[in-house]
Amino acid sequence: MRTHSLSPDYLMPFHFLISESDGNLYDVRQDGWHSLPPLRKAFRMHKRLIKSVADLKAAIRAGNRVWPGGYGCYFITADGSILSFEAVTENLTEVIDAIQSGNQCGWHVTALATTETDTESVYCDHTGKRIS
């Protein structure tokens, strides 16, 4: 069985920089690195539509809060279920397999949404926990 994980930033080598402005990953060892193309575009960013595993991983790396506002984020699946970041990261292998295979099951993440206000109540369909 395959497993997937996303390493936290502190495990990245120091010569990698993730831009806060565009979410791209850069290697800063070379002179003029800022004028070179990034190693990976959209390495850490929130996208409304999750069309690929790369989009999913970029959203997870960006975290469960959006800026500005600090509102909570959650995922929406192909069958309309709501999943928290916790549920997706705990079941990452199933989510990735569903995206790659095109299986329209409860693990096939297709979108990212945010709570619009601090008082809005949204609950994860997998864990039952409130997403705020």
Is the full-model pTM beyond 0.85? Answer: no
Residue 5 has pLDDT above 90, yes or no: no
Helical residues (DSSP H) of 1-132, grouped into ranges: 53-62, 85-90, 92-101
Instruction: Give me the pLDDT at residue 117, please.
Output: 66
Instruction: Give me the pLDDT at residue 20, please.
Output: 82
Instruction: Give me the pLDDT at residue 1, please.
Output: 41
- The tens digit of pLDDT for each residue in 32-61 reads 998 999 998 989 999 999 999 999 999 999
Residue 4 has pLDDT above 80, yes or no: no
Instruction: Give me the pLDDT at residue 108, please.
Output: 96
Contact 127, 80 (CB under 8 A): no
Instruction: Give me the pLDDT at residue 9, please.
Output: 62
C-alpha–C-alpha distance, residues 57 and 94, integer Å: 14
Instruction: Give me the pLDDT at residue 2, please.
Output: 43
- The tens digit of pLDDT for each residue in 90-129 reads 999 999 999 999 888 889 999 999 987 666 689 999 999 9
C-alpha–C-alpha distance, residues 82 and 48, integer Å: 14
Instruction: Give me the pLDDT at residue 3, please.
Output: 46
